[in-house]
Structures are given as C-alpha cells and as structure tokens.
Amino acid sequence: MPSPVVVFIGAPASGKSKIAKRVASLLDVPRIDTDKVVVAEHGPIADIFDNSGEATFRAYERAAVKDALQHRAIVSLGGGAVLDPDTQKDLTTVPVVLLTVSEEAVASRISDPKRPLLRDGIEAWKKLVAARMPIYSELAWNTFDTSAGDLDAIAEDIVSWISSGTPRQGVSS
C-alpha cells in the first residue's frame, strides 16, 4: 500500500500548506492538504465550527487524514489533526516534519478569519501551541523553522532531508 512521502504537522500559520506545495513541486509528486479536502467536501472550516461544532469538524478532518495517508503524496495536516489518537498512531509509521514558527513571525499570519480557534489572536495561538507541542514533538522525525528565510530554501532543505532517506532527527524545543 502506498504511503506519504512526508507529512507536515505544526501550529496554525506555520507554513504547512505553502511548504508542502513547494516540496511537492520539487519532487514532482501530488500534494494533499487535508484542510482543503474538508473544505471541498463540507464547506468553510469556520462555518463548520460555527454551525456544527468542533467535534464535527474533527470527524471530517480525521476522515480526510485517514484517506490522505493512503497515497504516495506530500501531505499537510491541519494544526489540530494530531489531537486524534488514531491519527497519532497512523503517523508513527511515516516520515513527519514539524514546521515551527516564532510568536513574532506568526503575529501577522493569524489574522485570517478562516482560523476559528485563533479569533482571539496571538494569546490563543500561544495557548494552542503550548498544549499541542508535546504531541508535535513526539511525532516529528525532523523540524524546520519557517519564522525567517526564504520558503523555497526551506523546501529545498526538506527535499534534501527526504532524499537522504528521511533519517529521524528528533526535535529540539
């Protein structure tokens, strides 16, 4: 059965979708963004949260993740996808990259109203990241920071790591 080339995890606004797009292009493989899958199938994430609740969104998200992990592709997960125990289990067998970003760098990225858990701004983001970081760190094979620098260069560094056989590097906090 095919499995992902690499899966991107990390906090909201860490650059998972943008980096995944670049890595997929460099490797000439398909890309699956599970948030985009949910939106295509069920509508805007903010609307799902507002009309049906977070639990409904998480169920849609889990289905999208489960399907995405069956493909040879570059996969980017929504920031909270790793909260699901089944997703955590599934991610133990595939290369996982954690994208990190500093509080200072993310401040300008989180004003998007499509991010329902970040409607309270940077304080909500910090609380969310603090709660999720132990899971992110446990799952990650390697970490790359997107706070500064050229996203193309970061993508090239990730491709080099993938090309080297995706050795597990561990994550430093």
Give residue 90's identity as a one-letter amino acid code: D
Annotated binding-site residues read: 13-18, 35, 58, 79, 115, 132
Residues 6+ apart with CB under 8 A from 157: 144
Local structure of residue 32 (DSSP, 8 states): E
Reading the block at residue 45, the tokens are: 């994430």
Local structure of residue 63 (DSSP, 8 states): H
Give residue 141's identity as a one-letter amino acid code: W
Reading the block at residue 20, the tokens are: 């995944």
Annotated binding-site residues for substrate read: 35, 58, 79, 132
What is the distance between the alpha carbons of residues 111 and 119, in angstroms, rounded to a whole number? Answer: 8
What is the distance between the alpha carbons of residues 131 and 82, in angstroms, rounded to a whole number? Answer: 12
What is the distance between the alpha carbons of residues 125 and 121, in angstroms, rounded to a whole number? Answer: 6
Strands 74-76 and 31-33 turn out to be parallel
Annotated binding-site residues for ATP read: 13-18, 115
Annotated binding-site residues for Mg(2+) read: 17
